[in-house]
Structure 1
């Protein structure tokens, strides 16, 4: 019997976040965050600007220390981890606004992303990552600064793939891209899901995010305001209520 992604997540989550609080200095941004992501599942994190979405991704991947709560990945406690250790465990964060090394070639940018892998294995990983992006594979020896903005974004995602993630965090991958290039990047996310990679997608383009996602969490004022399956009825209206209505509690499904 086939099992839905939501059922898989409840039974055997790959990523589990419990009671997570985080912020900057004395300013608390996130409050009591609980979420789960199953192996091979795409989970969208949606919410208005300033809701804390990127802060949450930074806390999960070790870029921002937790002030309370826990992050567990494949049974291992990553609550006090570093981004490097998280990536080695298979949790890779493609950071919003990340920039490539413009004076280095495409290949050199990818080599740097896989610096801790043996050289021969690094080469294999790079070729595998480039299969997803033929546009930049054809320009592998050109300077990254000569790529278009959309191609540089593809290179940023390819850098994440070189690390061979089991869970890939994509934080606003569509930022600054044309609609055609947005579709290309999200199509790659769909291909990765088909290969068994779990994805956490932070995205402002709600319709595109829901078309890819299995489940969605809505974040508002630093709290989970709603969680639901991405195919549930009346979801856009429920998201709007979660964004602008009563905050601070999970809506009943």
Structure 2
């Protein structure tokens, strides 16, 4: 089935997931439209990383449904998700330190034809001139911020339809945070959707079109980022002053 104009790129309904017998997510409903930037916010331990892992196939979906691009992707494998264009950039600097920047990116496209891989690597590097200049240096020679850029670039090699970023600002200086989040704006301008997990509230709201707040495994708020008093509503939602029903309305 092809995606219709009315159907979101990502459609999540009543999703439940967790670790073994420990249920972390409880009936999550969430959508992302093509080319939309959606921020998933919440306090530590709310289940944000669990959410991304369930969507990308790293954790089982125990109940509910995930549809992506008009296809049922519930419990798809990570490889199936990535091939469909649902790409997850995992939190932390996950680069191979002993091989070059270019080889790190080539590995991200390991299953693509050689000529296609080379083109995708150049495309990804065009987002990050800082690491393009260091393409022949070992991954371990990059600064922490540059390694984070390389991690995002690895995701871009897959040419995603939806890029899921888990805390891309972690450990970065304010200047580098802006540099990484500027890439989010560029992706949106190219029609690529982004689901952004971020602790820096002000930065996330500036980058996103809509926001979901996740608290103790429940969505407690969904709103456009243009809404007045949104930071105050988020703060109340985090600390339980909004009921689930009122906050989600």
TM-score over 0.5 for the pair: yes
Aligned match for 2:216, one of 208, 217, 221:
221
The equivalent residue for 1:251 is 247
- Tell me how large the CA RMSD over aligned residues is: 1.4
Aligned match for 2:65, one of 60, 63, 70:
70
| Secondary structure at the counterpart of residue 140 of structure 1 | coil
The equivalent residue for 2:165 is 170
1:1-253 equivalent positions in 2, closer than 5 A: 11-245=6-240, 246=242, 248-249=244-245, 251-253=247-249
Structure 2: state its 5+ residue gaps.
none
Give runs of ≥4 in structure 1 deviating > 4 Å.
none
Q: Compute the displacement of 1:11 (Å).
A: 3.2
8 Å CA contact retained: 1:227, 1:250: no
8 Å CA contact retained: 1:29, 1:55: yes
| Secondary structure at the counterpart of residue 11 of structure 1 | coil
Structure-2-length-normalised TM-score: 0.96
Q: Compute the displacement of 1:250 (Å).
A: 5.8
Q: Compute the displacement of 1:166 (Å).
A: 0.4
Distance in 1 of aligned mates of 2:65 and 2:5: 17
Give CA-to-partner distance per residue, 1:55-81, whole Å, 9 cap, x none: 001001111001101110011111120
Distance in 1 of aligned mates of 2:243 and 2:6: 28
| Secondary structure at the counterpart of residue 17 of structure 1 | strand
Distance in 2 of aligned mates of 1:226 and 1:137: 39
Cα distance change, pair 250–195 in 1 and its aligned pair in 2 (3 A)? farther
Cα distance change, pair 93–222 in 1 and its aligned pair in 2 (3 A)? same
Cα distance change, pair 49–192 in 1 and its aligned pair in 2 (3 A)? same
